[in-house]
Structure 1
């Protein structure tokens, strides 16, 4: 049933429908509304025996979920920005231990300078931590991806990070069909952990591993992600059969079949890009969009196949690796190794700057004329940058 609902509440209700045993989180904008709602549901008894654990930091939140998962509970947490960085050590530990934790990351810029608005810098900083990373385009997809995330995590025994754009999705109101508990129960079986810490049957996990075996441990983690590439689309198909709508999967191509220029992006900006493409199509421009849902593991073969008609690719990156350029673009280029197609990186929307149809349309028309630089910044204030560069040069 469609309801007009805030994104954070839709995510919280979807998580609640998944019957978590332990929830632990520390407040940080813009994810706080999610765990506030979950805390209310736990307090009111709506989640049965689920425990909500109040902690003193994000590092503690992840540590609690690690302990809960290792002892056989379905565990969940949420964070954003500096909070994700604070728990980074434990984030890597969760993956290394193969614990099926689900975490929401309400994507937000990383300081300094302090910025609370949306870009993808936080999740990108942990892209190689060993977690599956799924990016939502809409509030509906954000809710749906959490249900699929628990299924994926528990079938693979890997943690899953569901990324949704802070404020843009967490605080917006949309008509959402929140997954109901009855169908979620049919789709998501009770949690049966592969490993359980039990005082009556003591074992050690996460013990010291020396050079003689550490490479093999990392290799096995890599193979688990390769299995995820097969499981993610299968789980999405089963979700569509159960809930009657497509959501999740590896990729979302839009008008790509005959496109010569294809834009690749993650997250909520895809809606704006699709509207821009529709406008350009009406003018005769053969432009398409490739939305990537599964960023980790990265679907190299599927991206390569989806870009088969492209004579140029434009990657919208909402995070920047200083001194290198676009992060998403680097993976797209790797997917196109050996293919003579120019890949333009356009860094956009950092720190929550608006990405408008007008700016996108002008940029794509330049791309079609192959007038873009290999790395460019959408709506960069050149005058301000030039003043600062001149001031810095004067100090030398």
Structure 2
């Protein structure tokens, strides 16, 4: 059914249609409206057969989901930013135990300094934790990916994280097709857990594993991710057959035929990227884009196939590996190693800074004209940064960097 609806509410209704049996989450901006919506659906009787558990922290939220999933219940939770860091030990436990938990991550910057706006710092902090990681471009895709996530998690017995850009998607009100229960049931079968809690047949989970078996356990976790490379596009195709629309998959190319320059990105920024590509194409520039829908497992072969024809690849990413540069860009370079493509890292949108089509187009025109340095920070206030570097070199002591930067930005000058 088409609805004019907030993204968080649409996701909540879609998750409810997946018939979760245990929902547990601790409120943290910007995912709060999702679990509030689910709580209302349980309270009002629209979602039956589900226990909504109020917990005291994000660590408790995922810990409860782990216990519920281990006992044989279809389990769901959500978090963001610092909340994800607080549950970090449990994040690794969920994947290490091979539990089919689905979690929404409302992507938000990680402090300090404190920042509640969107970037992908939180998701990148757990990129090697063993979760399948999907990224939604739109609220429609966010709805669809949650339905696919439960199917994928339960087929592989592996946790799945659905990444949705905080505020940009979670708080946006737009037209979304929220499916009916019959279609979701046709796509997502009843949960058939690998194990169930049975006092008559007690078992241990998460017990000590020594050097004689630990490598094999980790290899099997890796095997599940490699299997997901096959199942993600297959499940996306099945979804299209049932729901009549394209959603999910591993990668989605946009106007890459004949493109000399291709922009690679994840999440909602693809809207700006596509508009910029269209404008540059109209002006005679051979530019295209590649939307990376799945970050874990990383689709090396699909990325390579899509980008081989491009002379230049610009990886636009909303996270920063401090001391190294681009995270997504390093993966793209791995996919293209030995093929001679020039790969640029474009760090943008950190802490919610707007990514404008004008700034992106200007950068793309620059790399067409001449080679550029590998790591570029889009719309960086260079005067502010240089003034603070000068201060640090002059004083040679610890200082409140964030506060100094804020003073300079507020004053509109470097002192």
TM-score range, shorter chain: over 0.9
Q: Structure 2: how far apart are the matches of 1:364 and 1:151?
A: 39
Structure-to-structure mapping, 1:11-90, within 5 angstroms: 11-90=11-90
Deviations 1:142-172 (A, max 9, x none): 0000000000000000000000000000000
TM-fit CA distance, 1:302: 0.4
In structure 2, distance between residues paired with 1:122 and 1:175: 28
Match of 2:302 in 1: 302
Gaps of 5+ in 1: none
8 A contact 2:308–2:339 mirrored in 1: no
TM-score when normalising by structure 1: 0.99
Task: Compute the displacement of 1:2 (Å).
Answer: 1.6
Cα distance in 2 between the residues matched to 1:199 and 1:339: 58
How many positions carry a matched residue from both structures?
396
Q: Distance in 2 between matches of 1:50 and 1:253?
A: 39
1:51-130 alignment runs, 5 A limit: 51-130=51-130
Residue correspondence of structure 1 range 152-231 to structure 2 within 5 A:
152-231=152-231
Q: Deviations over 1:91-127 (max 9, x none)?
A: 1000000000000000000000000000000011001
The offset of 1:371, in angstroms, is: 3.7
User: Is 1:391 aligned to 2:375, yes or no?
Assistant: no
1:89 positional shift: 0.3
Residue pair 2:308, 2:341 contacting (<8 A) in 1 also: no
* Structure 1 residue 295 displacement after superposition: 0.3
Give TM-score, length-normalised by structure 2: 0.95
Distance 1:370 1:154 in 2: 49
Structure 1: how far apart are the matches of 2:375 and 2:197? 49
Q: What is aligned with 1:272?
A: 272
1:349 counterpart residue number: 349
Partners of 1:71 and 1:258 lie apart in 2 by 53
TM-fit CA distance, 1:283: 1.0
SS in 2 for 1:276: helix
Matched residues in 1 for 2:370 and 2:36: separation? 48
SS in structure 1 at match of 2:225: helix
Deviations 1:307-336 (A, max 9, x none): 021001000010001001011001001111
Structure 2 residue runs without a partner (length 5+): 397-415
Contact 2:308 2:336 in 1 (8 A): no
Distance in 1, matches of 2:259 and 2:16, equals: 41
| Mapped pair 1:139 → 2:139 | yes
**SS of the residue 1:189 aligns to:** coil
Match of 2:318 in 1: 318
Give me the whole-angstrom Cα distance separating, in 2, the residues matched to 1:370 and 1:238: 44
Query: Which stretches of structure 1, 4 residues or more, deviate above 6 A after TM superposition?
Result: none
Check conservation: 2:25, 2:58, Cα contact below 8 A: yes
Give, in whole Å, the separation in 2 of the partners of 1:74 and 1:188: 12
CA distance in 2, matches of 1:370, 1:5: 45
Quick one: distance in 2 between partners of 1:149 and 1:222? 18
Q: Over aligned residues, Cα RMSD in angstroms?
A: 0.7
SS of 1:149's equivalent in the other structure is helix
1:339 Cα deviation (Å)?
Answer: 1.0
1:381 paired residue number = 381
Determine helix, strand or coil for the equivalent of 1:320.
coil
d(CA) in 1 for partners of 2:46, 2:200 = 31
SS at match of 1:216: helix
Other structure's SS at 1:202 match: coil
Within 2, Cα distance between the matches of 1:148 and 1:85?
25
Give SS of 1:268's match: helix
Question: How far, CA to CA, are the matches of 1:208 and 1:370 in structure 2?
Answer: 56
Offset of residue 370 of structure 1: 3.2
Mapped to 1, the partners of 2:198 and 2:352 lie a distance apart of 46
